[in-house]
Amino acid sequence: MDFSTWLLFAQEEAANPEPGGLFPALPFPVLIAIMFGLFYFLILRPQQKKDKNFRTMLEGLKEKDRVVTIGGIHGVVTNVQRDRDEVTVRIDESTGTKIHVGTSAIARLVTDEEKNDKKSA
């Protein structure tokens, strides 16, 4: 097939496109709305739920909670100062060493199940 034949074939296809495609009957704005809906339910909504659970965990933080900081330091909460957004964490039981960290530095609470798993391992 030479170039001129190919060019004529391409022009004919452009002039008479065959109906088809993935969603031929849906208009473009509907496709955009579907994409935004999928984006919301697959990405935004789960992240908002995770953020809400994290804020609830920080608001419920109290003394004697076992926590892990974002730096990987394990310790026990000894004081929570909500007005200063600061938490005092005891990181060494034998010497009583404490550090002050911001509440945003708390990554997670250590649950009783996690404590039992570590003891059995």
Which pLDDT score, from 0 to 100, does residue 97 have? 95
Boundaries of every domain in the chain: 25-59, 62-120
Question: Would you list the DSSP string of the chain?
Answer: --HHHHHHHHHHHHHSPPS-SSSTTS-HHHHHHHHHHHHIIIIIHHHHHHHHHHHHHHHT--TT-EEEETT--EEEEEEEEGGGTEEEEE--TTT--EEEEEGGGEEEEPPHHHHHHHHH-
Spatial distance between the Cα atoms of 36 and 30, rounded to a whole number of angstroms: 10
Q: Model confidence at 111, in pLDDT bands (50, 70, 90)? A: confident
Please return the burial class of 68, using the count of CB atoms within 10 Å of its CB with bins 0-12, 13-18 and 19+: middle
Q: Tell me the mean pLDDT in the region 75-96.
A: 94
Q: Model confidence at 85, in pLDDT bands (50, 70, 90)? A: very high
Fold of domain 62-120: SH3 type barrels. (2.30.30)
Which pLDDT score, from 0 to 100, does residue 21 have? 57
pLDDT digits (tens, 9 = 90+) for 14-46: 555 555 555 567 788 888 999 999 999 999 999
